[in-house]
Amino acid sequence: MYHQYVETEKRVMAALDGIFPFIVGMHLLATDPDNTYLIMPLTPGGNLFDLVYERGSLGEYMARFYSAQILLALEFLHATGFVHRDLKPENVLIDANGYLRLADFSMIKSIGRGRTYTFCGTPDYMAPEIFTYKGYSQAVDFWSLGAMMYELTTGRTPFEGPDVGTIFQNALNTNYNLDVGFSPSLQSLLRNMLQPDLSKRYGNLKNGVIDIKKHPWFRPVNWLQIINQKMEAPFKPDLEWISKKEIRNILDSYENEYVDF
């Protein structure tokens, strides 16, 4: 069955192909009687989830390098009116040069400066306004990025729990531990991004994404070098072989997601 979210992803990937360096595009579309195939550029480094799983944690230097690229990708998507709604390490691919490509646009939606109410995403990264059905804006992506930054640095998600209900309660009550070796500047940034109060959440204030880009934790970043991919990546994939696991990463990217029609 041709799913509406596949149609959305096809259109978005085709439109964004080659336009922005940190967003994956679609080179070719192929179909047969049973399936639709979206042919994407090769990203032999797998995804960020696998990298964190293998290393346990990446530390602040690598987390900052990757978070800067994701932030630029979100800035671009938001400027074009989109909200991603399912930002997580599994949906961020690593190319041959060690740089990132934001992927999986099955839940992306064009809302401009408006709001939407669909319950969707992955619980560990969902902003409170999604699961409380209050309506939400592009600010949900900055919450998800904050959760990712925590995970990249520590190797675990901030609001983990034995079940979805506990995860949601931890997020709603900002029940997470910052006393895990974070630098003071990262603690400050996470408090402002993992902020249930939208009037205080970084990325959603008057200065928009600038509040995040100019935060002291991102001070070491040369944004021009990052966007031009001139900075040496801290990790580059081994191109001698590509395991079947990397192919499964793409096929598995649609699992563990919640969608309420």
Residues forming the active site: 86
Partner residues linked to 38 by β-bridges: 29
Distance CA 187, CA 257 (A): 28
- Neighbouring CB atoms inside 10 A of 145's CB total 24
Distance CA 31, CA 165 (A): 39
Phi, psi of 200 (to 5 degrees): -125, -10
Distance CA 65, CA 97 (A): 13
Residue type, 112: G
Distance CA 57, CA 172 (A): 25
Distance CA 163, CA 135 (A): 23
Partner residues linked to 110 by β-bridges: 82
Distance CA 193, CA 140 (A): 10
- What single-letter DSSP state applies at residue 232? P
Distance CA 111, CA 140 (A): 12
Q: Which two tokens stand for residue 129?
A: 């306004």
- Neighbouring CB atoms inside 10 A of 240's CB total 6
CA distances (Å), origin 12, targets 58, 130, 147: 31, 22, 25
